[in-house]
Amino acid sequence: MNRKRETYHHLRRLFNCLNSLEHIYLTDQELRDFGIKLLPLNLNGDNNRTGGGEIQYFVPLALEKLKSLPQAEFDLAPFEPGHGLTYGSGLLNTFRRHLGQELPRHLWRSPTEDSLSMFCQWESTLLSFNITRDGIVKNPMSPDDYYWTRCWEFTTDNPSYPHLIVMSAHNLHPGKSEERKISRGELIILLRMIMTRIEDPSLEKHEIYPVLMVTAFDYKIRIMQAYFDGQLHLQLGPFIDLERYSEDKKDLILSWIMNEPAGNTRKPTEAILSRSVKAVAAGDSP
């Protein structure tokens, strides 16, 4: 079995393991057993490295450059308590629409530069796959159950970049103590996205498929960079609290969505950690 197929089957087994769990956040022991490396992501960093010396595959647009671009009016809906999943997906859609909204004609720099999205390489899309886009622990009719939905993806039209941006909303209300924890739903979405990219024939020359996740938990946004190179690397940014509108917070999130894809994605992946292989052996079922 070649390395790429080995990677795919390993991620599929890990996916099955996570899909069978019923608790929300992975424990430190589960992270170790599954070979998942969790590190911080410095959202305000100005270099191409993240916490722990990790390679950064998404370089945010400089805030100075973002502020210099023509922008349409930004309308952030008010926070409505008690509607976590609906509000979270609506909040993400606000950012998506803001990128694609047509600028006032007097702000056009050229006939093709008629929206903010024209100033970056990303475009909104929706990847299809045969795993449900939503997930539940028990009964979706109960407000206490964990439920999430994958909202949108952004890809480039350049096959040199297998990078992907994924937006998802979760009906969680995390506090400060959950800021350094990863939820089961985030991982399930992430793994399925990476597997989808591995199967894409237009990306067959690549070995690493980086994903930038923009996740909404009610009015809190988290940005996470993830990739698999024989080990699953997750770099979590702090929660960005949007209960009250802030121009600086809005610009920070947009700067990451309008990032520049980077990094060597054709480098052969490392051997999968032996303890990780053993831990996911229970996920061999299709």
Average pLDDT over residues 20-30: 90
What is the torsion angle, in degrees rounded to the nearest 10, for the CA atoms of residue 132, residue 201, residue 154 and residue 14?
Answer: 40
User: What pLDDT does residue 286 have?
Assistant: 41
pLDDT digits (tens, 9 = 90+) for 213-241: 999 998 899 999 999 999 999 999 999 99
**Statement: residue 76 has pLDDT above 70:** no
Is 0.85 topped by the overall pTM?
yes
Beta strand ranges found along the chain (DSSP E):
36-40, 58-59, 123-125, 134-136, 147-155, 164-170, 211-217, 220-228, 232-236, 240-241, 260-261
**Statement: residue 245 has pLDDT above 60:** yes
How buried is 223 (Cβ within 10 angstroms: 0-12 exposed, 13-18 middle, 19+ buried)?
Answer: buried
| Residue 71, token pair as written in the block | 């922008």
Choose among 109, 60, 94, 79: nearest CA to 255: 60
User: What pLDDT does residue 188 have?
Assistant: 92
User: What pLDDT does residue 238 have?
Assistant: 95
Residue 241 vs residue 77, higher pLDDT: 241
Residue 165: beta bridge partners?
154, 212
SS (H, E, C) 171-211: CCCCCHHHCCCCEHHHHHHHHHHHHHHHCCHHHCCCCCCCE
Measured between alpha carbons, how far apart are the two ends of the chain, in Å? 18
In this structure, what DSSP letter does residue 110 have? S
Give the other-Cβ count within 10 Å of 228's Cβ: 26
User: What pLDDT does residue 98 have?
Assistant: 79
In this structure, what DSSP letter does residue 217 have? E
Residue 72 vs residue 233, higher pLDDT: 233
Count CA within 13 A, CB hemisphere, residue 205: 6
Q: What is the mean pLDDT of the chain?
A: 82
Residue 276 vs residue 47, higher pLDDT: 276
Residue 85 vs residue 10, higher pLDDT: 10
pLDDT digits (tens, 9 = 90+) for 145-171: 778 888 889 998 788 999 999 999 888
Give the C-alpha separation, 25 to 147, whole Å. 13
Residue listed under structure tokens 């609290």: 241
Q: How confident is the model at residue 175 (pLDDT cuts 50, 70, 90)?
A: confident
In this prediction, what percent of the chain has a pLDDT beyond 90?
44
Q: How confident is the model at residue 115 (pLDDT cuts 50, 70, 90)?
A: confident
